[in-house]
Chain A
Amino acid sequence: MEFSIRVATLEDCRDMARMIAELAEYEKVPDQVKITQRDLEQDGFSKNPFFQAIIAEVPEQHRSKEGHCKVGYALYFFAYSSWKGRSVYMEDLYVMSEYRGKGIGKALMSKIAQLGLAAGCKQLNFAVPNWNKPSVDFSLRQGCWNVTSDLGYHCMRCEGPALESLARGEAKH
Chain B
Amino acid sequence: MPDGMKISHEELERDGFSQNPFFHCLVAEVPPQHRTKEGYTLVGYALYFYTYSTWEGRSLYMEDFYVMPEFRGKGIGKALISNVARIGKEHQCVRLNFSVLSWNTPAINFYLNKGAQDLTTSDGWHCFRFDREALDKLAEEAVKQ
Chain A: residues with CB nearer than 8 A to chain B? 5, 20, 23-24, 29, 32-35, 39, 43-44, 48, 50-51, 75, 77-86, 89, 91-92, 106-107, 109-111, 113-114, 116-117, 121-131, 136, 139-140, 142-149, 151-159, 161-170, 173
Q: Which listed residue, A35, A77, A162, A169, touches B116 by the CB 8 Å rule?
A: A162
A80→B15 contact, CB < 8 A: yes
Of the four ranges (under 10, 10 to 19, 20 to 34, 35 or more), the interface on chain B belongs to 35 or more
**Which B residues touch A109, using CB under 8 A?**
138
Q: Are B124 and A35 in contact (CB under 8 A)?
A: no
Instruction: Determine the residue in chain A with the shortest Cβ distance to B75.
Output: A173
**What CA separation (Å) do A35 and B55 show in the bound complex?**
5
Please tell me if the beta carbons of A107 and B141 are within 8 angstroms of each other in the complex: yes
Checking B51, B64, B79, B136 against A50 with a beta-carbon cut-off of 8 angstroms, the contacting residue is B51
| Neighbouring A residues of B124 by C-beta, 8 Å | 129-131
Contact residues, B103-133 vs A (CB, 8 A): 103, 108, 111, 114-121, 123-132
Most buried by A among B54, B126, B132: B54
Contact B129 A114 (CB under 8 A): no
List, in ascending order, chain A residues with CB within 8 A of B116's CB: 156-158, 162
Contacts of A44 in B (CB 8 A): 52
- Which residue in chain B gives the minimum CB-CB distance to A49? B52
- Rounded to whole angstroms, the CA-CA distance of A29 and B57 in the bound complex is 16
Interface residues of B (CB under 8 A from A): 4-7, 11, 15, 20, 22-23, 47, 49-58, 61, 63-64, 75, 78-79, 81-83, 85-86, 88-89, 94-103, 108, 111, 114-121, 123-132, 134-143, 145
What separation, in Å, do the CA atoms of A66 and B134 have in the docked complex?
37
**Secondary structure at chain A's binding surface: helix, strand, loop or mixed?**
mixed
- Report which of B56, B115, B134, B142 forms a contact with A34, defined as CB distance below 8 A: B56
Asked if A148 meets B89 with Cβ closer than 8 Å, knowing A20-B54, A159-B96, A173-B79, the reply is no
Give the nearest-CB partner of A166 in chain B.
B85
| Chain B residues closer than 8 Å to A117, beta-carbon distance | 135-136, 139
A120 → chain B closest CB, angstroms: 9
Neighbour of B52 across the interface among A51, A136, A162, A170, CB < 8 A: A51
Q: Judging by beta carbons under 8 Å apart, are B132 and A123 in contact?
A: yes
A-B contact pairs, 12 of them (CB 8 A): A80-B49, A82-B5, A113-B142, A123-B129, A142-B134, A154-B118, A156-B99, A156-B111, A156-B118, A159-B96, A163-B115, A167-B82
A167 touches B86 (CB 8 A): yes
**B-chain residues with CB within 8 Å of residue A123 when the two chains form the complex:** 129-132, 135
**Considering the chains assembled together, what is the distance between the CA atoms of A147 and B126 in angstroms?**
7
| B-chain residues with CB within 8 Å of residue A152 when the two chains form the complex | 101-103
Return the chain B residue nearest A84 by Cβ: B6
Closest Cβ–Cβ distance, residue B100 to chain A (whole Å): 5
| Pair B56/A146 contact, Cβ less than 8 Å | no
Cβ A153 vs Cβ B134 within 8 A:
no
Q: For A16, give the chain B residue with the smallest CB separation.
A: B54
